[in-house]
C-alpha cells in the first residue's frame, strides 16, 4: 500500500533577491498559477510548451495575450499538460513552471504579493499567514510543510530534497 502524502504542496521556498521576492512551489499544477493570478494581467513575453499523448502545442499555436486566455484554454483543453512555461507580465511580474508541477513567481518588492500567495495557499488548505511566516523565517531554504502548517523538513538545496525522495522510492 502506497503511503499517502500528508501535505498538498510538496515543497516551498522564498528567496529575497535584490529588489525581488521569488516564491517557488513544488506539487502545484501550472493551471493553479492561472487560477490565482488576476485574469486581466497581460503578457509582455511568453514561452509555452504543452503536450498530450499525441501532440505538442506552443504559445504561437494558441496565441495567449493574458492570464485569462491561458486559464480558459487549458480549462477547456484539460488533456494538455504544460511542460514548460515562462512569462513576463505587466507590473514586472515573472511567472513560470516546469513539468506542470513546479511553479515560480517573481514579484518586485514594491508589489503587494500577499493576495496572490494567500489565494494559492488557501486553495491547498494552508493558513497563509503561518506559511508565509515559516517561509520568511527560513528564507532561501526549501521547506516541506504539512497540513496544518507543520514544518516537516528543511533543505538548504533543492538537490537535497530530490535525493531524499529518490531514496524513498527505492
**pLDDT digit string, tens, across residues 117-155:** 999 999 999 999 999 999 999 999 999 998 888 899 999
Whether 2 is covered by a domain: the verdict is no
Q: Please tell me the total count of domains within the chain.
A: 1
Mean pLDDT value across residues 60-89: 97
Neighbours of 95 (CB within 10 A): 25
Whether 115 is covered by a domain: the verdict is yes
More confidently predicted of 90 and 167: 90
Query: Tell me, what DSSP letter sits at residue 120?
Result: H
Residue 1 has pLDDT above 50, yes or no: no
Whether 3 is covered by a domain: the verdict is no
Residue 2 has pLDDT above 60, yes or no: no
Whether 103 is covered by a domain: the verdict is yes
Quick one: 4 exposed, middle or buried, by C-beta within 10 A (0-12, 13-18, 19+)? exposed
Whether 6 is covered by a domain: the verdict is no
Range of the domain at 106: 11-169
Whether 24 is covered by a domain: the verdict is yes
Q: Model's pTM, two decimal places?
A: 0.89
Spatial contact of 127 and 148, defined as CB atoms under 8 Å apart: yes
Amino acid at each position: 500500500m502506497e503511503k499517502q502524502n500528508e501535505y498538498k504542496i510538496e515543497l516551498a521556498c522564498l528567496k529575497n533577491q535584490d529588489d525581488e521576492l521569488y516564491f517557488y512551489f513544488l506539487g502545484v499544477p501550472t493551471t493553479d498559477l492561472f487560477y490565482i493570478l488576476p485574469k486581466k494581467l497581460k503578457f509582455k513575453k511568453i514561452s509555452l510548451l504543452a503536450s498530450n499523448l499525441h501532440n505538442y502545442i506552443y504559445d504561437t499555436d494558441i496565441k495567449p495575450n493574458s492570464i485569462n486566455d491561458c486559464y480558459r484554454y487549458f480549462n477547456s483543453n484539460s488533456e494538455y499538460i504544460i511542460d514548460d512555461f515562462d512569462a513576463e507580465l505587466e507590473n514586472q511580474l515573472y511567472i513560470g513552471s516546469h513539468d506542470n508541477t513546479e511553479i515560480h513567481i517573481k514579484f518586485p518588492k514594491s508589489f503587494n504579493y500577499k493576495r496572490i500567495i494567500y489565494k494559492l495557499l488557501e486553495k491547498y488548505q494552508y493558513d497563509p499567514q503561518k506559511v508565509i511566516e515559516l517561509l520568511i523565517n527560513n528564507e532561501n531554504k526549501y521547506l516541506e510543510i504539512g497540513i496544518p502548517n507543520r514544518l516537516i523538513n528543511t533543505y538548504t538545496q533543492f538537490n537535497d530534497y530530490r535525493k531524499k525522495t529518490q531514496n524513498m522510492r527505492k
